[in-house]
Structure 1
Amino acid sequence: MPAPTVSFEFFPPKSLQASFRLWDCVNTLAPLDPTFVSVTYGAGGTTRKLTHEAVEAIHTNTGLNVAAHLTCVDATKAETLDIADAYAKAGVKEIVALRGDAPKGDAKFTAHHEGFASSIDLIEALAETGKFNIRVGAYPEKHPEALDQAADIAFLKRKIDAGATSAITQFFFEAETFFRFRDLCVKAGIDAPIIPGILPIESWGGVQRFAQACGTHIPQVIRDGFANAEKTGTTELLATAIATELCDDLLQGGVDHLHFYTLNRPELTRDICHALGVTPNVRLQNVA
């Protein structure tokens, strides 16, 4: 079985120390020859400027194909499209188009009175420019605000029909969760690639909070495993094993591309990729 292609998500740094961590992450994972890397956009648009700076720096200094997250939050249509145009002028050709989370303290997303009302509106506007490959989010266990999974998948189809070329899923912990979702997407007429999002468990406490916030089910076997691993100091080994097994199950089921949420900590992602046969692409130069 051939090794999969991979992609990685980073988040923009908010301090000098965080900048060093980001660049360590980029330099560690770039040799794995990712198809693309993405840079997130903070809740409420809080990292808009930092995201733009990180995207341009990674693109300029590494030559990696960078996908910039772009949301509808707290900006007019003109401001949002100006950001997109600045990306295009910098040579960035990929956008991950999202509605975005509500600003901190707000109970729910409220569109700017001169802004895009939804991710579909944003996707349509970006598609009209003809400048970008547009990716979107997908939710194997449904978006927390969706009425049900059928409604959520219908909304995903509308995003694809609006001009998106692929979808990246929220993280999950069982391959069957992804396969059921993929089958439902096909049944709904979605023919764009659905890329599984993988979250290596760097912090067990943090993952539990993430999962609760986005409605991701954590199997009891994983909960029991970490309860034991914390007593024996083997959480990193367990995290590597869990993610590698999940990825292997996905590959056995026909998946050929994996997207890793790195949290700007590259070691687990690197080790999982190596276990899957994704190894550094070293080019020999000046060899006599």
Structure 2
Amino acid sequence: MKVTEHIQNANGKPLFSFEILPPLKGQNIQSIFDAIDPLMEFKPPFIDVTYHREEYEYKELPSGLLEKKVVKKRPGTVGICSAIQNKYQVDAIPHILCGGFTKEDTENFLIDLDFLGIQNVVALRGDAVKNETYFKPEKEGNHYATELVTQISNLNTGIYLDDELQNSSATNFCIGVAGYPEKHMEAPSLDSDIYFLKQKIKSGASYIITQMFFDNKKFFDFVAKCRKEGITVPIIPGLKPIGTKKQLNLVPHRFKVDIPDELIMSVVRAETPEAVKQIGIEWCINQSKELIKEGISVLHYYSMGKAENIKAIAKEVF
């Protein structure tokens, strides 16, 4: 079932969803099931599975030349999605990136998903890998999320890269895209970011899922700006509980989001790791309850492969 259909069928009852990371290369899928099992009591209608593009590093040879070595840390997105749908009978939603894919790669990836009965995807440009200063698209790939959405939408109408195909079958993907309540880190302003978000919707996206935020006012203001610009699709808030003191520095740096001073100082003053976790859980519970009170239909949690904090939140909210 499509995400938009899940929302329509909920009849106003808030839905619980979450995102998982594929396991590190060399681990088996049981680590994924161990992260999902504790959360199934809250009946998630769908689970997102991230995609991690290949990263590479250079090694200097005795000759002085540099050898490029590909390091793929978290493969398996498609297989995990298929396993989730088969084991739990819930919809799995793979992330699809521009980076690391040619348009032909993307088309073949989507064909595989279609054959597996996966009806939802999240289309993302993707970030620069650690050895890049700025994002670099593949030479024959999509450069922007809008282009990726267009390619998926074309497949939904039976338009493939090979225009000589006869009697080509149309896919039926529901397309999600990312939104940034505090703007994308590379966007010059929030207004310009929303302008390009609207282009993604015009190109065929059916819903928006947001970057994490810790101040609900920023989410509400973002939604109001989107609605003012004529964006009418569902906007799903993305939430993450702070779990360690280290995250006070890592999260703003990595995701370019602000953490409210009240939350920061509560974490700073906490005397034990367990106290830090509880502060993060309680903050996220309060966020969640306020969002539901304001009529938000789906809450989406970034679990980062850890179920304990998310389960504690869900018990108090759903």
Tell me the distance in 2 between the aligned counterparts of 1:172 and 1:154.
20
Deviation at 1:104, TM superposition (A): 2.3
Q: Secondary structure at the match of 1:70?
A: strand
- The aligned residue for residue 266 of structure 1 is 307
Stretch of structure 1 that moved more, 47-56 or 194-203 = 47-56
- The aligned residue for residue 12 of structure 1 is 22
What TM-score comes out, normalization by structure 2 length?
0.82
Asked if 1 retains the 8 angstrom alpha-carbon contact of 2:25 and 2:75, the reply is no
Does the alignment pair 1:99 with 2:121? no
- The aligned residue for residue 21 of structure 1 is 31
Tell me the distance in 2 between the aligned counterparts of 1:194 and 1:16.
36
Deviation at 1:84, TM superposition (A): 1.1
Q: Secondary structure at the match of 2:270?
A: helix
Tell me the distance in 2 between the aligned counterparts of 1:243 and 1:18.
30
Distance change >3 Å, CA 18–CA 147, structure 1 → 2: farther
Correspondence list, 1:164-183, <5 A: 164-183=205-224
Q: Which has the larger Rg?
A: 2
Correspondence list, 1:54-69, <5 A: 54-69=80-95
Tell me the distance in 2 between the aligned counterparts of 1:48 and 1:238.
30
Stretch of structure 1 that moved more, 154-163 or 209-218 = 209-218
> Unmatched 5+ residue regions in structure 1?
279-288
Map Cα deviations across residues 147-184 of structure 1 (whole Å, 9 max, x no partner).
Answer: 10000000110111111100100001111010000000
Percent identity between the two aligned chains: 31
2:138 to 91, 99, 112: 112
Stretch of structure 1 that moved more, 160-169 or 223-232 = 223-232
Tell me the distance in 1 between the aligned counterparts of 2:19 and 2:28.
15
Tell me the distance in 1 between the aligned counterparts of 2:39 and 2:305.
10
Deviation at 1:125, TM superposition (A): 1.0
Q: Which amino acid aligns with 2:18?
A: F
Tell me the distance in 1 between the aligned counterparts of 2:152 and 2:47.
19
- The aligned residue for residue 286 of structure 1 is none
Tell me the distance in 2 between the aligned counterparts of 1:73 and 1:11.
17
Tell me the distance in 1 between the aligned counterparts of 2:258 and 2:316.
25
Tell me the distance in 1 between the aligned counterparts of 2:145 and 2:274.
43
Tell me the distance in 1 between the aligned counterparts of 2:28 and 2:298.
28
Aligned residues: 276
Deviation at 1:17, TM superposition (A): 5.1
Deviation at 1:99, TM superposition (A): 0.4
Deviation at 1:31, TM superposition (A): 2.5
Give structure 1 regions of 4+ aligned residues with deviation exceeding 6 angstroms: none
Deviation at 1:16, TM superposition (A): 5.4
Q: Secondary structure at the match of 1:230?
A: coil
Q: Secondary structure at the match of 1:96?
A: strand
User: CA-atom RMSD, angstroms?
Assistant: 1.8
1:234 to 268, 272, 275: 275
Deviation at 1:236, TM superposition (A): 2.2
What TM-score comes out, normalization by structure 1 length?
0.90
Tell me the distance in 1 between the aligned counterparts of 2:102 and 2:279.
45
2:149 to 100, 123, 128: 123
> Unmatched 5+ residue regions in structure 2?
1-11, 56-71, 157-171
Tell me the distance in 2 between the aligned counterparts of 1:232 and 1:206.
12
Deviation at 1:262, TM superposition (A): 0.5
Tell me the distance in 2 between the aligned counterparts of 1:85 and 1:47.
24
Tell me the distance in 2 between the aligned counterparts of 1:205 and 1:112.
34
Q: Secondary structure at the match of 1:180?
A: helix
Distance change >3 Å, CA 139–CA 88, structure 1 → 2: same
Tell me the distance in 1 between the aligned counterparts of 2:101 and 2:73.
13
Map Cα deviations across residues 172-213 of structure 1 (whole Å, 9 max, x no partner).
Answer: 111101000000000111001110000122333135312222
Tell me the distance in 2 between the aligned counterparts of 1:47 and 1:166.
29
Does the alignment pair 1:210 with 2:251? yes
Q: Which amino acid aligns with 2:251?
A: F
Tell me the distance in 2 between the aligned counterparts of 1:43 and 1:229.
37
Does the alignment pair 1:158 with 2:184? no
Deviation at 1:44, TM superposition (A): 4.7
User: More relative contact order in 1 or in 2 (CA 8 Å, sep 6+)?
Assistant: 1
Tell me the distance in 2 between the aligned counterparts of 1:63 and 1:15.
25
